[in-house]
Every structure is written in C-alpha cells, then in structure tokens.
C-alpha cells in the first residue's frame, strides 16, 4: 500500500473513531470502514492529508480552537458578572 493511501485511510479511520460512541477495541473495524470509504471515493486525492493518530494516543477529544464558540459574557470581567443563585 502506498504511503499516501495509507495516510488517507489512517486519517479517515481516526475520524470514524472520533465519532464512535464506544470506540475501544474496534480499531480494525474503523480501519476497514475507512478503507472501504476511500475506495468508494475513487482516485480523488485529498486536499491536505494529516496524521492525527498522535491526538488519539493522548486520549484527547478536544475540539480545535476554530470550532469553539464564545459564550455570552466571555468578554465581561469575572468580578462584574451577575451571580446566579446556587441550587439546593
């Protein structure tokens, strides 16, 4: 298998792993699904293949910064924010 194809499959398998609610022990299933998807897409080359396996090794599923949304009031100093009553 050439390195570019393997990188595409690895990246897709990682994306599948990220979206699997119970991914543990299913690496082979993710790899096969990724391989099938890539084959079904044909020879269309990816724009920028990336190897994200290092993120998986850390056990991290943190969204990239560009996907994070600001919350209302993020620009207000903590001392000036309205305090909410505590439950209980």
- pLDDT at residue 14 above 90? yes
Separation of alpha carbons 29 and 53, rounded Å: 16
Give the domain range for residue 34: 1-18+27-41+54-59
- Residues making up the chain, counted from first to last: 88
Is the residue at 71 inside a domain?
no
- Put simply, whether the predicted model's pTM sits higher than 0.85 gets the answer no
- Which positions ≥6 away from 20 have C-beta within 8 Å? 26, 30
Separation of alpha carbons 8 and 29, rounded Å: 16
- pLDDT at residue 81 above 70? no
pLDDT for the residue 77: 66
- Look at the chain and report how many structural domains it folds into: 1
Is the residue at 79 inside a domain?
no
pLDDT for the residue 52: 60
Is the residue at 84 inside a domain?
no
* pLDDT-derived band at 3, boundaries 50, 70, 90: very high
Is the residue at 66 inside a domain?
no
Quick: pLDDT tens for 23-77. 889 999 999 999 999 999 885 555 555 566 655 555 555 555 555 556 666 666 6
**Residue predicted with more confidence, 20 or 62:** 20
């Amino acid at each position: 298998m050439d390195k570019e194809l393997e990188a595409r499959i690895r990246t897709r398998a990682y994306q599948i792993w990220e979206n699997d609610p119970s991914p543990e022990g299913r690496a082979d299933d993710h790899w096969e699904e990724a391989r099938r998807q890539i084959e079904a897409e044909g020879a269309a080359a990816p724009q920028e293949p990336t190897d994200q396996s290092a993120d998986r090794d850390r056990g991290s599923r943190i969204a990239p910064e560009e996907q994070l949304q600001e919350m209302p009031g993020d620009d207000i100093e903590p001392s000036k924010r309205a305090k909410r009553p505590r439950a209980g």
